[in-house]
């Protein structure tokens, strides 16, 4: 079921704000609901995971990318196709580990944090942690167990925002007959 | 530019999350109301902020009805990539906005099966409407009702001080 939309530049622009603003309202609400930043971070990760396991279907349906043969291809698809499609940005891929099982996504600007400032009493908050959950959930659905975490954050004064991706293992799952 | 589908996924997850937090396992009217009002409050802040970002010229409306028309067209397109299907008023401060295929209800099967669940998926949007109206200088009460998915109605009642 596809929704054919006629998106002019105006509505695209407001859509971006809608997601950013909604995300901000969510983080604010979670900070009220939970007493400490760690719990908020966990909640964001969990919600991101739930989104990721469903977002992957949307992604695969719309992007037409085939199966990735290694982690390098995966990195390319994440940065150049997925991030572009959903957030309109193309992070850089750097800092590959010698074994090829870890890399960094470098986001020069993070659309989630437009107009956001972290107040002083939330220094442990990983504001965009939803993204880590989304990546983890989506990749799990394509048989990859990964760890994603923020190692730099412009909200905390760093020059760029950096997400470190680590391949843990392939998930050998019982796939329904007929799927490869 | 975030893809519109991200908002849908996030919204669905927010509804699930705020409902799961309800400590009362048997959601009586009290528990339900609290979760709904939290969602509505979040929508309010989003609607407020979205309207604040509009260019000045857009904000100069001649009449109250023009504001409602603006919500039905421009705001609805910005949020849901479609216009509201109909707008009715009694010309005494009550407006009924009808969307025959509300995007946040579409993923649920149509008809009467999930009627009970529908209000959870409307609360945030009621807030968006109320928040946008607030920025545009209008105090209101916004409620929503569903007769059969995915059609729904938003009722806007202008509060005159």
The CATH number of the domain holding residue B120 is 3.30.1380.20
Q: Span B77-95, mean pLDDT?
A: 94
Number of domains present in the structure of chain B: 1
Residue A167 sits at φ, ψ, to 5 deg, of: -80, 125
CATH class held by domain A16-170:
alpha beta
**Nearest residue of A to residue B124, measured between CA atoms:** A22
Residue B22 sits at φ, ψ, to 5 deg, of: -60, 110
Q: Tell me how close the Cα of B77 comes to any Cα of chain A, in angstroms.
A: 7
Q: Tell me: the pLDDT tens digits for B54-65?
A: 776 666 777 899
Q: What is d(CA A64, CA B94) in angstroms, rounded to the nearest whole number?
A: 48
B32 or A148, which is more confident? A148
Residue A15: the pLDDT is: 52
Q: Span B2-9, mean pLDDT?
A: 87
Contacts of B77 in chain A (CB under 8 A): 11
Contact B140, B130 (CB under 8 A): yes
Tokens for B13, please give them.
């997850």
Residue A12: the pLDDT is: 38
Q: Which residues of chain A have pLDDT under 70?
A: 1-16, 173-180
Residue A173's region, left for phi above 0, alpha for psi from -120 to 50, else beta, is beta
Residue A176 sits at φ, ψ, to 5 deg, of: -60, 145
Domain span at B13: 4-21+28-158
A-B CB pairs within 8 A amount to: 100
Q: Tell me how close the Cα of A86 comes to any Cα of chain B, in angstroms.
A: 5
Q: Is the peptide bond before B53 cis (omega within 30 degrees of 0)?
A: no
Does the interface predicted TM-score (ipTM) exceed 0.95? no
Spell out the domain ranges in chain A. Answer: 16-170
Residue A166's region, left for phi above 0, alpha for psi from -120 to 50, else beta, is beta
H-type alpha helices, chain A? 9-33, 37-63, 71-76, 83-87, 129-141
Contact B136, B67 (CB under 8 A): yes
Say whether B7 and A5 touch across the interface (CB within 8 A).
no
Query: Is a pLDDT exceeding 60 seen at residue B160?
Result: yes
Tokens for B129, please give them.
């409407």
User: Is the overall model pTM greater than 0.90, yes or no?
Assistant: no
Residue B128: the pLDDT is: 97
């Amino acid at each position: 079921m596809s929704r054919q939309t006629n998106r002019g530049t105006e509505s695209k622009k407001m859509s971006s704000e809608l997601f950013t603003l909604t995300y901000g309202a969510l983080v604010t609400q979670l900070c009220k609901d939970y007493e400490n930043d760690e719990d908020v971070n966990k909640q964001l990760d969990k919600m991101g995971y739930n989104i990721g396991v469903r977002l992957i279907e949307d992604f695969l349906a719309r992007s037409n990318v085939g199966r990735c043969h290694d982690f390098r291809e995966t990195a390319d698809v994440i940065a150049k196709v997925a991030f572009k499609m959903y957030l309109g940005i193309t992070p850089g891929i750097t800092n590959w580990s010698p074994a090829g099982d870890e890399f960094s996504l470098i986001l020069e600007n993070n659309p989630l944090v437009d107009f956001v400032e972290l107040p002083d009493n939330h220094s442990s908050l990983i504001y965009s942690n939803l993204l880590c959950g989304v990546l983890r959930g989506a990749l799990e659905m394509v048989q990859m167990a990964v760890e994603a975490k923020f190692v730099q954050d412009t909200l905390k004064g760093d020059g760029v925002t950096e997400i470190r991706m680590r391949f843990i293992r392939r998930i050998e799952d019982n796939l329904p007959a007929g799927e490869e | 530019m975030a893809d519109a589908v991200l908002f849908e996924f996030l919204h669905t997850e927010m509804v699930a999350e705020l409902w799961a937090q309800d400590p009362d396992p048997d959601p009586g009217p009290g528990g339900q109301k609290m979760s709904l009002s939290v969602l509505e409050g979040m929508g309010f802040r989003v609607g407020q902020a979205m309207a604040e970002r509009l260019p000045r010229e857009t904000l100069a409306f001649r009449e109250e009805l023009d504001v409602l028309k603006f919500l039905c067209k421009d705001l609805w397109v910005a949020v849901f990539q479609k216009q509201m299907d109909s707008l009715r008023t009694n010309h005494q401060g009550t407006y009924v906005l009808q969307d025959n295929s509300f995007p946040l209800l579409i993923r649920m099967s149509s008809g009467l099966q999930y009627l009970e669940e529908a209000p959870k998926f409307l609360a945030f949007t009621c807030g968006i409407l109320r928040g946008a109206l607030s920025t545009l200088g209008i105090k209101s009460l916004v409620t929503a009702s569903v007769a059969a998915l995915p059609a729904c109605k938003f009722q806007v009642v202008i509060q005159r001080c």
